[in-house]
């Protein structure tokens, strides 16, 4: 069951898309998103929806209820919920307005981070800062275009938003989270070097099994796949903004040879490096 009153001002935005097969393979997928300048009578009551939902309040206040927990979401606060349980949300009648970003999302990465975003399966508010606004805007700008580049851009933006909430919220960050984040930051700097799992384990001070479990829990994927995603992000950038050869880009991003780079790029992005470059040139010329 779904009932709602879409009492929103002109200028509000509601975007929807049907994820492509490539998008569904990403750890973070967006199906709907928007920014609502909600007025006093805005409300939604829903039994369930097969996704998770993220709010960020910019102005006014929203009231969100799920599983006998009610949260007043004031400016600079964000909230994550699994919509597979009944929920309701509305504008706080005391403020009479609720300007907020929202994203419906799903994917293995979302599910891996869910237990960190909920407290005992209950919703709660996170402190958030202005650095999240460009990331929400990036999702809105790219979600309707289901090209490989925009799909990965949206997936990465959602990952960055959720990671920010986990690592910067008011609950003290555990030492384990700090250790995992430290190794992820190290990978972000050394992504083009051979994977050295032993060095990561020494840095975190953990056994392999424990480290791998926590890395997937906090980052949403394995260290190797995280490193590959960083390599692909850099490769796409080099293909778009430089005239480096495929061989040069392969070496720059840490691959042993052109064939290994092209095979991995095609598998992760969906097209070959050469075709991606041609598509990027066409896209830029169109702009």
Residue 176: predicted pLDDT: 81
Residue 170: predicted pLDDT: 43
Rounded Cα distance, 75 and 57, in Å: 5
Residue 248: predicted pLDDT: 96
Does residue 209 register a pLDDT over 60? yes
Query: Between vectors from CA 145 to CA 26 and to CA 154, what angle results, nearest 5°?
Result: 40
- pTM reported for the whole predicted model: 0.62
Compute φ and ψ for 240, nearest 5 degrees.
-85, -40
Does residue 23 register a pLDDT over 60? yes
Domains, the chain = 2-168 (2.60.120.280), 175-286 (1.10.10.60)
Question: What's the pLDDT tens digit per position in 216-241?
Answer: 888 888 999 999 999 999 999 999 88
Burial (CB count within 10 angstroms: exposed 0-12, middle 13-18, buried 19+), residue 77: buried
Question: What's the pLDDT tens digit per position in 127-171?
Answer: 888 889 999 999 999 999 889 999 999 999 999 999 989 887 644
DSSP states of the chain as a string?
Answer: -EEEE--B-TT-EEEE----HHHHTSSSEEEEEEEEEE-TT-EEEES--SSEEEEEEEEE-EEEEETTEEEEE-TTEEEEEETTS-EEEEE-TTT--EEEEEEEEESHHHHHHHHHHSBTTB--EEE--TTHHHHHHHHHHHTT--SHHHHHHHHHHHHHHHHHHHHHSSSPPPHHHHHHHHHHHHHHHSTTSPP-HHHHHHHHT--HHHHHHHHHHHHSS-HHHHHHHHHHHHHHHHHHH----HHHHHHHTT-SSHHHHHHHHHHHHSS-HHHHHHHHHHHHHH-
More reliable by pLDDT, 210 or 273: 273
More reliable by pLDDT, 192 or 166: 192
């Amino acid at each position: 069951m779904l009932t709602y009153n879409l009492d929103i001002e002109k200028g509000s935005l509601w975007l929807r898309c049907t994820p492509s097969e490539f998008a569904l393979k990403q750890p973070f997928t967006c199906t709907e998103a928007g920014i609502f300048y909600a007025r006093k009578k805005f409300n939604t009551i829903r039994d369930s929806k097969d996704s998770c939902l993220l709010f960020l309040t910019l102005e006014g206040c929203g009231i969100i209820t799920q599983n006998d927990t009610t949260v007043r979401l004031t400016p600079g606060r964000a909230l994550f919920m699994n919509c597979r349980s009944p929920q309701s949300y509305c504008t706080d009648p005391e403020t009479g307005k609720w300007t907020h970003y929202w994203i419906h999302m799903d994917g293995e990465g979302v599910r891996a981070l869910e237990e960190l975003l909920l407290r005992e399966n209950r919703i709660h508010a996170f402190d958030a800062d202005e650095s999240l606004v460009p990331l929400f805007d990036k999702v809105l700008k790219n979600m309707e275009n289901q090209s490989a580049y925009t799909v990965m851009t949206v997936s990465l933006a959602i990952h960055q938003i959720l990671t920010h909430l986990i690592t910067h919220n008011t609950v003290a960050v555990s030492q384990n989270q700090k250790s995992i984040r430290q190794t992820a930051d190290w990978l972000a700097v050394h992504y083009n070097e051979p994977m050295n799992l032993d060095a990561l384990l020494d840095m975190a001070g953990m056994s392999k099994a424990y480290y791998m479990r926590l890395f997937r829990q906090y980052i949403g994927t394995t260290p190797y796949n995280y490193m590959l995603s960083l390599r692909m992000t850099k490769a796409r950038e080099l293909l778009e903004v430089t005239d480096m050869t495929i061989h040069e880009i392969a070496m720059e991003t840490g691959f042993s040879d052109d064939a290994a780079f092209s095979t991995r790029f095609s598998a992760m992005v969906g097209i070959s490096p050469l075709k991606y470059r041609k598509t990027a040139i066409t896209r830029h010329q169109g702009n």
